[in-house]
Amino acid sequence: MAGDITKASIRQKIWDYLEANNLASFPRPVHHRIPNFKGAPAANDQLKELDVFKKSRTVKINPDKPQEHARFLTLEAKKTLMVPTPRLKTGLFNKITPPKGCNKETLRTCSTSQGVRQYSLPIGLDDQIKVDLVIVGSVAVSTKGHRIGKGEGFADMEYAMMSSMGAVDQNTIVITTVHDCQVMDLPDELFDSHDLTLDYILTPTRLIKCEGNLPKPTGIIWRKLTLEKFNQIPILKNLRFREKKAGKDVRLKHEFESMAEETSHGSKSEKHADAATSVASEPKESKSQVQSRGNTPPSVKSNTSSSVSVFVGGISRGLRVSEFKAKIRENNVLPIKVTWHGARGFAFLQFENNSDAEAAVSILDGLDVHGSVLRSDIAKDKGK
């Protein structure tokens, strides 16, 4: 294949072909989407022929339209359905919980984007879950097992994050459903270790077992992660803090490249530890800096000698404590106590130890909650 072929050029070719040949279904145009294609329900129906689907108990499926029928089949078979939160904005994924005794029409509603919003519960990094099967959407695939998504990297990131939390491993089966025209030869050199690979491809006319036996992502490759992408996905702050605490190298792409450049020039400088690194370590501002903004955390006395309190300011006056608790849970902040002063725009969160408190600060400071940006820092303790 020509050297100018890229993932982007392949995406464009597939999107254009689906539209030009009227093979696309709503929503249209399919450009910049996981394309919904004519025959999607028939492709998804082939799941019922696979033993891995029959035997699975927990299935994770992307929220896009062409995999809607796969979500229905999963719920109809009384399996646990996990769906990623849109763009990973509020967490990793949600568990769909249909009402007890519901009929097929309700299950179909649960399978839609509306149902994902209406009938789901957030799942955090601390939840001990095991995903038996992963079903993803794709723009282009090969029978070898290579996959190209819509270009934003969320499916790759989701799998890497699930791997980091132990929910999946190299033996977890990954399936995609696509139109026959989306199956093509893809050059090996376009793919890297962070790219999600496939075990099965289902089309309206074929059930393909991929022959490549390609490895899957084993966790977040921090040195390939840009600061822009890191800041787009709030849950990465929590995961990075945990992995840094476990002794792993969590330098982001720009930090890693900066270190490599300094090393190549014989420098021993540690200037690569910039503001992004502070997200995974100490709180970002000193007391004097916070005071200069007029946001000094009020003093609070801890209930126990070992617990640590965190001040959270910038809370919208109209926010209810239940909404606040739900939001911080979505971001894997789990205090042992919340002291609510929402009418005055702040709250205190109590944690069992300093590490948990620092992790909470790194996640909450700058978090947007109902249009208000939170401020967070370790609170002064009168008892010490």
pLDDT by 10s per residue, the chain, length 384: 445 899 999 999 999 999 999 999 999 999 999 999 999 999 999 999 999 999 999 999 999 999 999 999 999 999 999 998 766 665 678 899 999 889 999 999 999 988 888 898 888 777 788 999 999 999 999 999 999 999 988 889 889 889 988 899 999 999 999 999 999 999 999 999 889 999 999 999 999 999 988 999 988 889 888 888 888 887 888 888 888 888 888 898 888 777 666 655 554 444 444 433 333 433 344 434 434 434 444 443 434 446 899 999 999 888 989 889 888 887 778 899 999 998 889 999 998 888 788 888 878 888 888 878 898 888 865 333
Q: In 3D, which of 296, 334, 340, 333 has the Cα closest to residue 319?
A: 340
Domain residue extents for the chain: 7-209, 231-278, 287-378
What pLDDT sits at residue 224?
87
Cα–Cα dist 110/97, whole Å: 8
According to the model, what pLDDT value does residue 384 have?
A: 35
What pairs with residue 373 in β-bridges?
368
Taking the whole predicted model, whether its pTM rises above 0.75 is answered as no
Q: What's the pLDDT at 91?
A: 63
The phi, psi pair for 221, rounded to 5°, reads -95, 90
3-state secondary structure of 132: coil
Question: Given this model, what pLDDT does residue 238 score?
Answer: 84
What DSSP line would sit under 70-129, residue for residue? Answer: HHHHHHHTT-EEEEEPGGGSS-SEEEE-PPTT--HHHHHHHTSHHHHHHSEEEE-TTS--
Give the position of tokens 């902040």: 333
Distance between first and last Cα of the chain = 68
CATH of 7-209, one of 1.10.3720.10, 3.40.190.10, 3.40.50.300, 3.40.50.10420: 3.40.50.10420
Residues 276/229, Cβ–Cβ less than 8 Å: no
Q: How far apart are CA 251 and CA 237, in angstroms?
A: 12
CB 54: neighbour CB atoms within 10 A? 11
Q: How many CB atoms lie within 10 A of CB 96?
A: 22
H helices, E strands: number in the chain:
14, 16
CATH topology of domain 287-378: Alpha-Beta Plaits (3.30.70)
CA distance 24 to 141: 17
What pLDDT score does 283 carry? 38
Same topology for domains 7-209 and 287-378, yes or no?
Answer: no
Helix (H, G, I), strand (E, B) or coil at 327: helix
